[in-house]
Structure 1
């Protein structure tokens, strides 16, 4: 599937800004299920300095600074990505994989044990804290001896069933525990709750930001800018060979989307585009920064995900 993603962020400041520095995670990454064919990041006004780097989680990021007065900032990422259908989760015989208890033991600290890089995704992080209430919520679906992937899928379904997706029910900084207690939220909340639950049960889990192709109702045109960023979860499971769950030969990340109850090996589906991965939202927020002078502003974000022929006439970034 060929998808074009246009993600436009615009700040209108109530007073002129003298100096600004920003970091953005807006370039999709190459994965086994997607390849970035084209990417352009347009910034208005033109930055005084700009650099592209790779962060510690192998995401592509851009830093830029503005050193002249400006009352508006527009950042537009325009990407063309080829996606492929992911492999289904290997849940059936003869491969069933490690039980979730065995995965937990695999990552338990032991002197002189070989280091597994996935272990860094076991610990609490700012948006995904440790709390017994997450374990209490997850424990009913973590049946004894259940393969880790089946337990993760059961948790995904549990969140999808027990929580209600409700736009504007939370803010970007709403704690995951608050969203769990009110039993509603948006995709970011669902992802953070699932991460907290998985880590509380001893399974490494990371936050995935990206996009999901949405389709307009029959007979209705696609609305430019009406889509949004999306978030889901990756779970790391050591793989085994020969049916011996006690011997880990490698490991892999498997994707679970509790908002839409979809999962796959590499992504939840070919209609998904992965942007970045981290411990939680704070590691890979699409755009963050610091400014000097006027702090009050109006923010608008418009995202469009569609086959490229539907966006052929989309205008490039221009001041409004």
Structure 2
């Protein structure tokens, strides 16, 4: 599959901003199953300073500073990319989940994905919710798949319920939230059992109702989970949709939780109250589309 992703974030301020420093994580990762064909980041007003780096988790970060007085900030990322199906682990690596939990402490690089993080705390309530999927001796992938299914089937998607500050325990109690909440919940369950799990940020191609056109800018960012499979690697699960991510799931980055991979964050001098508008469009493209041509970071 080939896609063009356009992600626009706009801030309108009540009073002038004289200076702002920002980090954008808006360029998808290059992966064995995900190839970046062209990418462009457009920032208005034009920044005085721009640099790029890879963060601790290997995500691509663009740092920029706007040093002129402005009443609005607009950041648009446009990317053309190609995706393929994810590889699946062979059956022989699917050992019981207790073995996987005991395996992770021996690998220091996994420890950070077992411990508490700013948005996810290990709790007895999360373990109690998860444990019915993790009976003794049950294969890891079968157990994680069952937990993934249970979250999908027993929780209600409700964009009015939560904010970034809503604790995972409240999501568990109310049985509702959004994709970010469900990803944090599932990660908290897995870590409470001693397993290594990380947060994946990206996009999901959404399909319009039959007979209805696609609405430009009406898509949204998405979030899901990856669990570490010993002697193989990371396998992704999408608890919001109850499935394994595939070609329609486009990966931006990953970390311990949302706080490691926000699309845009920064500080500013001035501004006062502001209004935020976000528009995302994930559209398939054909082989002849000009968006598939090789590109580079530009427009900044």
TM more than 0.5: yes
Q: Does 1:181 align with 2:162?
A: no
Q: Which residue of 1 aligns with 2:103?
A: 106
1:317 aligns with none
Q: Map of 1:199-210 to 2, 5 A cutoff?
A: 199-210=191-202
Given the alignment of the two structures, is residue 291 of structure 1 paired with residue 268 of structure 2, yes or no?
A: yes
Report if aligned partners of 2:148, 2:238 keep a CA contact under 8 Å in 1: yes
TM-score by length of 2: 0.93
Residue 144 of structure 2 corresponds to which residue in structure 1? 152
8 Å contact kept, 2:47–2:66: yes
The separation in 2 between residues aligned to 1:206 and 1:257, in whole angstroms, is 12
Distance 1:231 1:19, change over 3 A: same
| Matched residue, 1:318 | none
Q: CA deviation at 1:173?
A: 2.2
In the TM superposition, what whole-angstrom CA distance separates every residue of 1:262-306 from its partner, at most 9, and x where no partner exists? 11xxxx110110000000000000111111112310000000001
What is the distance in 2 between the residues matched to 1:98 and 1:116?
Answer: 21
Deviation at 1:148, TM superposition (A): 1.2
Q: Which residue of structure 1 lines up, in the alignment, with residue 239 of structure 2?
A: 258
1:96–1:147 Cα contact (<8 Å) kept:
no
Cα separation, 1, equivalents of 2:15 and 2:152:
43
Question: What is the aligned counterpart of 1:133 among 125, 146, 149?
Answer: 125
Shift of 1:66: 1.0
Cross-structure match for 1:274: 251
8 Å CA contact retained: 2:12, 2:276: yes
Cα displacement (A) at 1:161: 1.4
Taking the aligned partners of 1:36 and 1:168, their CA distance within structure 2 comes to 34
Counterpart mapping for 1:50-89 below 5 A: 50-88=50-88
SS in 2 for 1:87: coil
Q: Which residue of 2 aligns with 1:246?
A: none
Offset from partner CA, 1:20-44 (integer Å, 9 cap, x none): 1111110000112211111111000
Deviates more, 1:145-154 or 1:20-29: 145-154
- Structure 2 CA distance for aligned equivalents of residues 166 and 38 of structure 1: 34
Cα distance, 1:88 vs. partner? 4.0
Count of aligned pairs: 291
Aligned residues of 2:9 and 2:76 also touching (Cα < 8 A): yes
Q: CA deviation at 1:89?
A: 5.1
Contact 2:198 2:227 survives alignment (8 Å): yes
Aligned match of 2:203 in 208, 211, 229?
211
Q: Is the 8 A contact 1:22 1:63 kept in 2?
A: yes
2:135 aligns with 143
**Counterpart Cα distance in 1 of 2:241 and 2:290:** 29
Q: 1:190 aligns with which of 182, 188, 204?
A: 182
Establish whether residue 168 from structure 1 lines up as the match of residue 160 from structure 2: yes
What SS does structure 1 have at the residue aligned with 2:94? coil
Q: Secondary structure at the match of 1:19?
A: strand
Q: Which residue in the other structure is 1:5 paired with?
A: 5
Partner of 1:270, secondary structure, is coil
